[in-house]
Amino acid sequence: MYQDFGLFIAGNWERGATNSTVISPVTETPLGDVATATAADTKRAIDAAASASAPLSEMGGFARADALHRIADEMTVRADQAARMISTETGKPLAQAGREWVLSVDQFRWYAEEARRIYGRVVESRVPGGRFEITKEAVGIVGAFTAWNFPASLPARKIAPALAAGCPVVLRPSSQTPGVAMVMIDCIRAGGLPDGAVNLVVGSTADTYGPIMADARVRKVSLTGSTRVGQRMIRDAAETVKKVSMELGGNAPCIIFEDADLDAALDACVPSKFGNAGQVCVTPDRFFVHDNLHDTFVAEFSKRAAALILGDGLDNKTEMGPLINAGRMTEVDAIVQDAIRAGAKLETGGKRATGFNSGHFYEPTVLSNVTDDMRVFAEENFGPIAAISRFYSDDDILARANASTMGLSAYAFTRSPERARLATAALKSGMVGINSFALAASEAPFGGTNYSGLGREGGSEGIEDYLDTKLSQIVF
């Protein structure tokens, strides 16, 4: 399934001298071999990006906008192919994969229009006859690093604004889901951009990450990944003073206030929690439910979770797919068992799913009687685990919800506009959803605070991290 792709350097697909095997999370068998980069290959990709910098910038915003629209057109034509690749590599249900690709197309559409609106400004100077001109310029070569859980939307969030700003890109996708990025890169060829405007390398940290971080020509790096990896990247970026954008881990609280519409909350919470088998950085991890609603919420949540259909994402009946690999399943189970030993009540799930001869399938799991000091609350669980705790009054719940080093997303359900405003103002998070989990959209800035990262992707804010500001003092 990877035979038409490989490394993408200077406008061409290359097979590479070495290969790695991609394993299906559904069957635990090989999907195929992909070309992997050597350190020399990565350097050639950076060289190609450097050669593309001037012609890409000189195209101007309107020409780059047209190119991004052509890319989006090609992505639309190849939507079915892309969705099947997403589902095959990650195991997520085909419907979820299709929505992810549509959101990725949206990024290119949105930033096509942002490319036309890279505004500067003029400020009158106190020097007689003078004025200040503030202009925006492309920051330069971008190193983009993406995770496996959203293998289309994460590269799109980085590539689209970079190209709109006039920055060439070297993309290093996850080696567990490289094919999705390859399909996207192949669509980018339809844009007619200069050779080297986008390059793709897959390989080991030493052969890909190392050369990108060490090369002073790379002026910005953008990561979607774990907080631990982000901390390392920030330290490494300091050596050559690169700009950084970091979309890191989350540990989202979800408050179900006393006046919440319980049916509406359940309708939103269950599919959000178990979408992509819980492997979503913005998914709700910590459910705080008011005492008056708690027992009904737990019972109905557990009933709906237990009824979810597990299976291969390519099967249209599937509602939840597998975890990405055996290591993730081991970690998820360790978190669940730790909570049970600490006194949490297992309502449903809590083990590897039966009935599967292969695949990393873990049962949708609901835990109640969870306390704030349990690992399942204190850490991002990144799996199909809904951890539920009871609260009695509004006085302390916001403080409990904020008791995390993370600050990516937070949610609350209430019928009260006053409560909604109070929660929105008080929750320490880069993004807050009230009666909704729909935070990821091309027109809206996506990102977190504290240990959840730096910078924003999406919206008019998303292009700013790919631009430098230049001040000119002009006197006549």
Question: Any idea which residues carry the catalytic annotation?
Answer: 247, 281
Asked if residue 139 lies in contact with residue 167, where contact means CB atoms within 8 angstroms, the answer is yes
Helix (H) or strand (E) holding 464: none
Rounded to whole angstroms, the Cα distance separating 121 from 132 reads 8
Q: Where are the alpha helices (DSSP H) in 320-464?
A: 326-341, 375-378, 394-401, 417-426
Asked if residue 193 lies in contact with residue 67, where contact means CB atoms within 8 angstroms, the answer is yes
Could you tell me which of 91, 92, 100 has the C-alpha nearest to residue 23? 91
Residue type at 183? V
Rounded to whole angstroms, the Cα distance separating 164 from 172 reads 19
Residues 6+ apart with CB under 8 A from 211: 39, 42, 43, 46
Rounded to whole angstroms, the Cα distance separating 196 from 380 reads 37
Asked if residue 65 lies in contact with residue 115, where contact means CB atoms within 8 angstroms, the answer is yes
Rounded to whole angstroms, the Cα distance separating 268 from 265 reads 5
Rounded to whole angstroms, the Cα distance separating 14 from 429 reads 43
Phi-psi region of 352 (alpha: psi -120 to 50; beta: other; left: phi over 0): beta
Can you list the positions of beta strands (E) in 51-101? none
Residues 6+ apart with CB under 8 A from 204: 36
Maximum alpha-carbon separation in the chain: 81
